Amino acid sequence: MLNKHFTIMQILTSVYKFFRPRIAGMIVAILFLAIVIISIGFTNWNTVDQIPQNPMDQSNIQGIGMLIFTEFVIPFEILSIVLLATLMGAIYMAKGDGTE
């Protein structure tokens, strides 16, 4: 049953049906993608020659933790407050006026 209806034509039709109303968005997205890819490709990125290879310890979690609690501790604290505020706001908005 299923195989019988699953012809190439139908696949194409359904793809067409999916994209037809979205043609404008698609064109814009592809345009944007092309621009970004071309830009990336033609840019000379300044990178280190070699990613530091340390088979013993691949993890850099320790380094990240050190950074968070030393150099970036203030953004961290601010972020915590933002998260708290967001949480309260989200709960308030999602809760409604309490009549239900």
Partner 1 sequence: MIPLFYYLALSAIIFSIGLFGFMTQRSGIRMLMCVELMLNAANINLVAFSSYNGDLTGQVFALYSIALAAAEAAIGFAILMSIYRVRDMIDLNKINVLRW
Partner 2 sequence: MAIEDMAFLIPVLPALAFVLTFFLGKKLPNGGAIIPIIAIFTSFVISLMITLNLLQNPEQVVSQSYNWFAILNVGVLIDPLAAVMLSMVSFVSLLIHIYAVGYMSHDKAQPRYFAETALFTAAMLGVVLSDNILQFFICWELVGLCSYLLIGFWFEKPSAASAAKKAFLTTRVGDVMFLAGIILLFADIFRIFNGSIPEGVYVLRFDEIFTHIPEIAALNTQIFGFEVSHLTIITLLFFGGAVGKSGQFPLHVWLPDAMEGPTTVSALIHAATMVTAGVYLVARTFPMFLAAPYSLLVVAYLGAFTALFAATMGLVMNDIKRVLAFSTISQLGYMMLGLGMGAVIGVTAVGDSLFHLINHAFFKALLFLCAGSVIHAVGTQDIRQMGGVRKVMPITFATMLIASLALAGFGIPGTSIGVSGFFSKDPIIEAAYLFGESTENWVPYLFSIVAALLTSIYIFRLIFMTFTGKPRTNYGGHESPSVMTVPLMILGVLALVFGALTKTGFGKFLEETFANNFVNMDIHALAEIGKYHLASHGAGSEPLLILWMPVIVAIAGLLISYLIYGMRIIDMSSIVSRKNPIYKLLYNRYYQNAIFTQFLAVKVIYEGLALAGRAIDRGFDWTVYLIGHIFTEASDGLRLLQTGVVQNYATSVVTGVSLLIILVKLILEVF
The 10 Å CB-count burial string (b at 16+, else e) for 64-85 is eeeeeeeeeeeeeeeeeeeeee
Cβ proximity to partner 1, 3 vs 53, nearer residue: 53
The phi and psi torsions of 56 (rounded to 5 degrees) equal: -65, -50
Residue in 3, 4, 39, 81 binding partner 2, rule: CB under 8 A: 39
- CB of 48 within 8 A of CB of 41? no
* Residue 37 interacts with partner 2 (CB under 8 A): yes or no: no
Binding of residue 43 to partner 2 (CB under 8 A): no
Do the Cβ atoms of 54 and 61 come closer than 8 Å? Answer: no
Nearer CB in complex with partner 2: 29/84: 29
Supply the minimum distance, in Å, between the C-beta of residue 41 and partner 2: 13
Q: What is the contact surface with partner 2 in residues (CB under 8 A)? A: 24-25, 28-29, 31-32, 35, 39
